[in-house]
Copies of this chain bind each other. A is one copy, B any other.
C-alpha cells in the first residue's frame, strides 16, 4: 500500500485540546489525510471544525455512528481507513468497538475506557477485528524512552530491582472545574472520566511508562489516593508502592496539585549493574548510570544509541524533538503496520506502538488501586 492513509476523527471539535494534538501528530510525517470527521455532537460545531480543516462538508458527520456507517457506502479507494477517537473517556468504548466491527483501523486516545467491563469488550473487539488498534500512550513514542526500554531489555542494568516513576502536574491546584474550564470539568467528573481522576488521567501514563521501559509486570499495589482540593469528586493526587512479578519494587507518584509543576513525567530504573533516568523536561536525554563507571549521556540520534531509538526520530542530534514528535511516532509507526498488513509484509519491530494490552493493563491498575485505597489491606493484587 502506497501513499497516505485516509483518516477520520471522532471528537476534537471546538474547545478540544487533544483533538488538535492528534491532528498535528497525524500530519507530521505525511502518512495520513484527514478527510472526514464527527467532531462534535452539535452539527454546527462539527461543521465549523470541518471548514477550518478544509474537510468537505459532506464528510462532516453529525454523529460517530453516522460516520462509521456512511463511510462504508463510499468506494473502497475513497473510504476512510483509519478512525481517530479523541472523545472524553466515557465515549471511548462504544465508537471503538463499532469502528473495529465495521472494519476500520482505530487510533484511540488513552485511557482505554472507564471500567473493566468496557475494557474486556474492547479487547474482544480488537481480537476479532481485521483492523489494527493503537492506544495513544504518547510517552512511549519518545526516542529516548524507547532507548531506555532497549537498554534494559538488552541487559545494560542487569536484573531490575527498583522503579521510580512520577508525574507531577499543578494545573488542578485550584477548583478550576467550578470556573467553566472545559478540560478541568470533564476530567474531574466521574460520569465522564470514570472511577479515578488524576490516576486515570496521568497515573495510567506513569504506570504504562514504568512497565514499558522496565519490562516488568506490576503485580501488587499499595495505594494512597487523595482528594486535595475541596469540593472535587475524584482523586487529584496519589501515590502507589508496588511489587513486580520478578521481585522488583517501586513507587509511582501522580498528582495534579503540585502547584507550580508543569508536566514533568520522569522514570528511573535501577538494576544490579546500574540505573537509568529519563524525564520529559529533557526528553532527548537518557542518563545511564553504570555501577562503578562514569555516568553516560545518551542523546536522541547521538552516538551509542540503538536502531530502536534511531528508527523513531527525525533530525540530527542537537535539534530538539518533543512531545508532538513523540505523538507523531505513534501515528507513523501505526501507519507502517497498517501498510505492512495490507501488503502482507512483516512488521518492523522497531516501529512499535501501544495497543490493547496497554489499555487493559491500565484499567487493571485503576481497579486495583481503587480497591486497595478503599480498604485496609496493605497490598492488592493486580
Contact = CB atoms under 8 A, between A and B. Distances in A.
Nearest to A238: B249
Given A28-B24, A294-B302, A54 B170 contact: no
B294 A294 contact: no
Contact of A320 (B222, B259, B317, B320): B320
Interface stretch (A103-111, A285-293, A344-352): A285-293
Interface stretch (A64-72, A76-84, A86-94, A264-272): A264-272
A260 B289 contact: yes
Contacts of A241: 222, 224, 239, 241
A149 interface: no
Given A4-B54, A249-B226, A263-B318, A255 B162 contact: yes
A16 to B, nearest CB: 13
A126 to B, nearest CB: 28
Interface stretch (A129-137, A211-219, A275-283): A275-283
A263 B319 CA distance: 7
B270 A260 contact: yes
Contacts of A315: 21, 323-324
A273 interface: yes
A321 B318 contact: no
A337 interface: no
Interface string A170-190: 110110000000000000000
Given A241-B224, A294-B297, A317 B53 contact: no
A295 B260 CA distance: 7
Contact of A280 (B23, B228, B281, B318): B318
Interface residues of A, number: 87
A231 interface: no
Interface string A157-168: 100011010100
The 10 closest A-B pairs by CB, nearest first: A260-B289, A262-B318, A263-B318, A320-B322, A319-B323, A295-B297, A260-B275, A322-B322, A259-B291, A294-B304
30 contacts: A2-B51, A2-B54, A27-B27, A27-B28, A161-B257, A162-B237, A169-B318, A173-B272, A237-B249, A239-B241, A239-B249, A239-B251, A241-B241, A257-B270, A259-B274, A260-B288, A260-B295, A261-B275, A262-B316, A263-B316, A280-B319, A280-B320, A288-B294, A294-B302, A295-B296, A315-B324, A320-B320, A320-B323, A321-B324, A324-B324
Interface of A: 2-4, 17, 20-21, 23-24, 27-30, 51, 53-54, 157, 161-162, 164, 166, 169-171, 173-174, 222, 224, 226, 228, 237, 239, 241, 249, 251, 253, 255, 257-264, 268, 270-275, 280-284, 288-299, 302-304, 314-325, 375-378
